[in-house]
A and B are shown apart, each in its own frame.
Chain A
């Protein structure tokens, strides 16, 4: 059979020439009508947003009212003696209204009860009142307690008189100074007793602290006046503030600009998710998909019809939620002080952003939902999608995060930040990064739509059938039906386990003090956390650990080739590192840690340093990531997919983001070497030399360059340490490309997965 002649017409991408838009419109109309007849969808999309925010707003408003109107009671111990002080704290058995910013209303909200004079019942001494107050606050009889030491009032008064005497140079009267702690400056401190375990107690403490602060200030003023000084001496001048945007408008804009973009994203996703599950997984479950696929509608038309439906619902859900929250903001929050509805121009920016956001999430949800066998399975995918998208939407809202080139390159975060910047009114900054954000969002949309179409064209996805799962059967299957190499799930599980273990290990071990400590921590991390799980899993879960871990010799030429490639690529990896650091500047704390590490390296013995930083990681990480994990990932059915997945896991296993991006790129090269050579050895050589070069280049000092001028041809000193000369980049670039090309051309030994993959490719071609 002529395979070329029997290629089926393309169904993998939207073809405008052959696409029948009448069919797309028909499918769109049917799906929309279908969803509009589903009560759950209607509730989620129309009813919930209309009711949710007014209800939430009302509830919040009620709660605030309830909280502010709720009065608290404070037990005051030893308050009786304060009557003799010149500045009143307590008047008519209540805190003085002048001490509250809201006057008599404050007095109503913070009530007090005076403890009786003398010791508490069941005790002999008055000092037992502290213990009794503790007990009373703990048992919630009082929200807080204020305990004045027994001779507090006397000492305070004596202090004031002493100031008066000193200021007027009067002959010293025989002042009845209290006995005890000697100096009159030593006034015993009153104590507030409260508990953070109780919200009311904490609020009572805060109010009481504010009252006492004002009182202390008043006492200070009285003392100054007594000493012949003006009361204003405490606070010689006040500071005026002038907010050009207006206090209320600025506060509102700030809050809304943080809240609305996140809401837009979350609801665009939720609005897309439920219809997507019903339209794909639901249709599979009800058996209607097969009928539709046998109709004249092409798959691309079906996908487009469904995508547009999902997008429409996503946009309507998001828009309704935003309108509802905006109106609620205007109507309810306006009653709150300094808070208004969202700014009017927000509507424009949000409406514009709604289209790409909905398109992105609709395509993602469509692809996920077409993968699900049933609506129930589809629902399970919501949480992972939410957990992945939420941080990308919420993290940019952290204080201090601004729109810049690095942030605009992150798919969802860039868009959120752009919206936030627009809502804040910083148009110049927003315009500057608009093209980048738009380009990134469009690429993400395109990838998501492609993924969705690809899912719909896969027979294995469209006709996935339910499988029965039982733990016992599964365990037996794992042990009995072992294959020479691990399954994709086992490979991924190993990767995730290594990530979790390294996180736990890094968090539980204190940063080592010297290089010896660093060496110990590194060795334990490499051997126990990275290598051991991979080895154990290779032995238990596979029938050929040797084949899994690629423990065979490659063609000999590959080893020197890998070595030269490592040296040739090193300048580019360093340059990439600088670019990453420029785009995503390292946090100051992390920078301190890195600098600290460099200092440790500088003082370390070179042999030991290379062992810890280059040799051990080269062996352990290669066995784990290019051995077990990559072998497992190759069962994903595509070598490049396997290389990229294992490289991402390798990247994430490195401490922080900037290092991860670099490691991920290295992981792709290492994975490529492993796949092409069928052996772990070239990767180990590459990894070792790359790490060793990083250590060695840091050791090149200006003094060393003076001693060995030849080094000047390779590197030049800079503020951040030595950097490569440009001819090195040129030569390295040419050599790297040549070697990578050579690896492609080289007839590498095929693994069983490759052979199987060829069979599948053959079968697909046959089918065409």
Chain B
């Protein structure tokens, strides 16, 4: 599971002081759940997920992934997670098989077990025909498949999807959401960031609406609907953001601390 408490991240800008990207983010996500981070571009979703995957360090607050602290035990945290970013992170000059194998070996899987697992993954994702295709020659759909296979080859308990459906056509996006739902059924704890409301509505068990580094609302879809007296998630989202902006938190005041 994932527990985030008061997570803050500010970037040092020598000319202008501190730019606050995350401002006291707190939430938790349980195994067998998809936790959605919903927010406009620049809300701080990617920063939060980069901290969870230990790529960035938080300025303040704590985050624990499957019981391991992201600051104190980053190596253990990285063994617990599978990370998939918006741009898929596919190497141009590696074949699908080599790529998945590389990450499997970095995760320390024994060769025999790795081969067995890769065979089953390639079979399941119908990737056997692209086994020897180089990353540069892959279509977007193929890249997504390889990217997921790479993220789950070591069977991690926690999966982090950062805007994984960005730029995908409907068919590929649908297939990806289907796979995420399957992973949830397998008991994985999944964090899924997106700015597409329909995806969040369909997939997420719990949601946090993030704006300017803060959580404006958090809960199950049903809880959010009841709280705001509105059925449409997009409408709830819009209301929250407008209310926040009208409450007089001008950008300059917020950004510069």
B53 — which chain A residues lie within 8 A by C-beta? 293-294
Please state if A768 and B71 are interface contacts (CB–CB under 8 Å): yes
Please state if A767 and B58 are interface contacts (CB–CB under 8 Å): yes
Given A295-B103, A763-B10, A763-B18: A290 touches B75 (CB 8 Å cut-off): no
A23 CA / B85 CA spacing, docked (Å): 22
B164 within 8 A of A: no
Please state if B94 and A767 are interface contacts (CB–CB under 8 Å): no
0 or 1 for each of B91-117: is its CB under 8 Å from A? (1 = yes) = 111100010001101111000000000
A750 within 8 A of B: no
A26 CA / B109 CA spacing, docked (Å): 13
A747 within 8 A of B: no
A296 within 8 A of B: yes
A37 within 8 A of B: yes
B88 within 8 A of A: yes
A22 — which chain B residues lie within 8 A by C-beta? 105, 108
Please state if A6 and B59 are interface contacts (CB–CB under 8 Å): no
Please state if A8 and B10 are interface contacts (CB–CB under 8 Å): no
Please state if A30 and B102 are interface contacts (CB–CB under 8 Å): yes
A451 CA / B146 CA spacing, docked (Å): 35
A635 within 8 A of B: yes
Please state if B54 and A294 are interface contacts (CB–CB under 8 Å): yes
Interface centre among A6, A291, A294, A768 (most CB of B within 10 A): A294
Please state if B94 and A294 are interface contacts (CB–CB under 8 Å): no
Residue of A nearest to B84 (CB): A291
A34 CA / B134 CA spacing, docked (Å): 11
A294 CA / B74 CA spacing, docked (Å): 9
A759 CA / B20 CA spacing, docked (Å): 13
A536 within 8 A of B: no
Interface centre among B78, B89, B134 (most CB of A within 10 A): B89
Given A6-B71, A294-B54: A288 touches B90 (CB 8 Å cut-off): yes
Residue of B nearest to A30 (CB): B102
Distance in angstroms from A757 CB to nearest chain B CB is: 9
Please state if A637 and B14 are interface contacts (CB–CB under 8 Å): yes
0 or 1 for each of B1-45: is its CB under 8 Å from A? (1 = yes) = 000000000111011011000000000000000000000000000
Residue of B nearest to A36 (CB): B93
Residue of B nearest to A488 (CB): B14
A615 within 8 A of B: no
B59 — which chain A residues lie within 8 A by C-beta? 763, 766-767
CB-contact partner of A26 in B87, B94, B102, under 8 A? B102
CB-contact partner of A766 in B55, B60, B78, under 8 A? B60
Please state if A295 and B107 are interface contacts (CB–CB under 8 Å): yes
Interface size bucket, B side?
35 or more
B150 — which chain A residues lie within 8 A by C-beta? 291
Please state if B72 and A6 are interface contacts (CB–CB under 8 Å): yes
Given A295-B103, A296-B79: A8 touches B57 (CB 8 Å cut-off): yes
B91 — which chain A residues lie within 8 A by C-beta? 34, 286, 288
A64 CA / B87 CA spacing, docked (Å): 56
A22 CA / B75 CA spacing, docked (Å): 15
B50 within 8 A of A: yes
Distance in angstroms from B135 CB to nearest chain A CB is: 9
A294 — which chain B residues lie within 8 A by C-beta? 53-55, 78, 81, 83, 160
Please state if B85 and A767 are interface contacts (CB–CB under 8 Å): no
Given A8-B72, A637-B14: A295 touches B106 (CB 8 Å cut-off): yes
A46 within 8 A of B: no
Given A26-B102, A30-B94: A756 touches B17 (CB 8 Å cut-off): yes
A298 CA / B79 CA spacing, docked (Å): 11
Residue of A nearest to B154 (CB): A296
B197 — which chain A residues lie within 8 A by C-beta? none
A763 CA / B98 CA spacing, docked (Å): 40
Please state if A767 and B71 are interface contacts (CB–CB under 8 Å): yes
Please state if B75 and A293 are interface contacts (CB–CB under 8 Å): no
Please state if B11 and A460 are interface contacts (CB–CB under 8 Å): yes
A767 — which chain B residues lie within 8 A by C-beta? 57-60, 71
A38 CA / B94 CA spacing, docked (Å): 11
From 125 to 166 in chain B, residues with beta carbon under 8 angstroms from any chain A beta carbon are 134, 150, 160
B256 within 8 A of A: no
A459 CA / B47 CA spacing, docked (Å): 12
0 or 1 for each of A704-736: is its CB under 8 Å from B? (1 = yes) = 000000000000000000000000000000000
Please state if A287 and B55 are interface contacts (CB–CB under 8 Å): no
CB-contact partner of B14 in A1, A292, A756, under 8 A? A756
B175 within 8 A of A: no
A387 CA / B15 CA spacing, docked (Å): 31
Please state if B89 and A635 are interface contacts (CB–CB under 8 Å): no
CB-contact partner of B92 in A1, A8, A286, under 8 A? A286
Secondary structure call for the A interface: helix
Given A287-B85, A635-B14, A763-B12: A298 touches B75 (CB 8 Å cut-off): yes
From 29 to 58 in chain A, residues with beta carbon under 8 angstroms from any chain B beta carbon are 30, 33-34, 37-38
From 144 to 183 in chain A, residues with beta carbon under 8 angstroms from any chain B beta carbon are none
Given A637-B14, A756-B17, A767-B59: A287 touches B105 (CB 8 Å cut-off): no
Given A30-B94, A37-B93, A767-B58: A291 touches B12 (CB 8 Å cut-off): no
Given A23-B106, A26-B106, A286-B92: A296 touches B75 (CB 8 Å cut-off): yes
A314 within 8 A of B: no
Distance in angstroms from A121 CB to nearest chain B CB is: 74
A760 — which chain B residues lie within 8 A by C-beta? 12, 14
CB-contact partner of A38 in B78, B88, B90, B93, under 8 A? B93
B88 — which chain A residues lie within 8 A by C-beta? 287
B168 within 8 A of A: no
A136 within 8 A of B: no
Please state if B18 and A759 are interface contacts (CB–CB under 8 Å): yes
Distance in angstroms from A25 CB to nearest chain B CB is: 10
A186 within 8 A of B: no
CB-contact partner of A297 in B15, B58, B94, B106, under 8 A? B106
B196 within 8 A of A: no
A26 CA / B103 CA spacing, docked (Å): 10
A588 within 8 A of B: no
Please state if A290 and B55 are interface contacts (CB–CB under 8 Å): yes
Given A290-B89, A291-B89, A294-B55: A460 touches B74 (CB 8 Å cut-off): no
Residue of A nearest to B12 (CB): A760
Given A293-B55, A487-B15: A9 touches B106 (CB 8 Å cut-off): no
B18 — which chain A residues lie within 8 A by C-beta? 759, 763
A760 CA / B13 CA spacing, docked (Å): 9
Distance in angstroms from B132 CB to nearest chain A CB is: 13
Residue of A nearest to B151 (CB): A291
A37 — which chain B residues lie within 8 A by C-beta? 93, 134
Distance in angstroms from A130 CB to nearest chain B CB is: 71
A483 within 8 A of B: yes
A34 — which chain B residues lie within 8 A by C-beta? 91, 93-94
Residue of B nearest to A757 (CB): B14
A760 CA / B79 CA spacing, docked (Å): 30
From 472 to 498 in chain A, residues with beta carbon under 8 angstroms from any chain B beta carbon are 483, 487
CB-contact partner of A9 in B74, B78, B92, under 8 A? B74
Distance in angstroms from B14 CB to nearest chain A CB is: 6
0 or 1 for each of B45-79: is its CB under 8 Å from A? (1 = yes) = 00000100111111110000000000110110011
Please state if A296 and B58 are interface contacts (CB–CB under 8 Å): no
Please state if B71 and A8 are interface contacts (CB–CB under 8 Å): yes
Interface centre among B78, B93, B105, B106 (most CB of A within 10 A): B106
Residue of B nearest to A291 (CB): B89
A6 CA / B62 CA spacing, docked (Å): 10
0 or 1 for each of A621-639: is its CB under 8 Å from B? (1 = yes) = 0000000000000010100
0 or 1 for each of A737-751: is its CB under 8 Å from B? (1 = yes) = 000000000000000
A38 — which chain B residues lie within 8 A by C-beta? 93
Distance in angstroms from B44 CB to nearest chain A CB is: 14
Can you sample 8 A-B contacts with CB below 8 Å? A22-B108, A26-B102, A34-B94, A37-B134, A286-B87, A483-B15, A759-B18, A763-B18
- Partner-A contacts on B (CB < 8 A): 10-12, 14-15, 17-18, 50, 53-60, 71-72, 74-75, 78-79, 81, 83, 85, 87-94, 98, 102-103, 105-108, 134, 150, 160
* Top 3 A-B pairs, shortest CB-CB distance: A291-B89, A287-B87, A294-B53
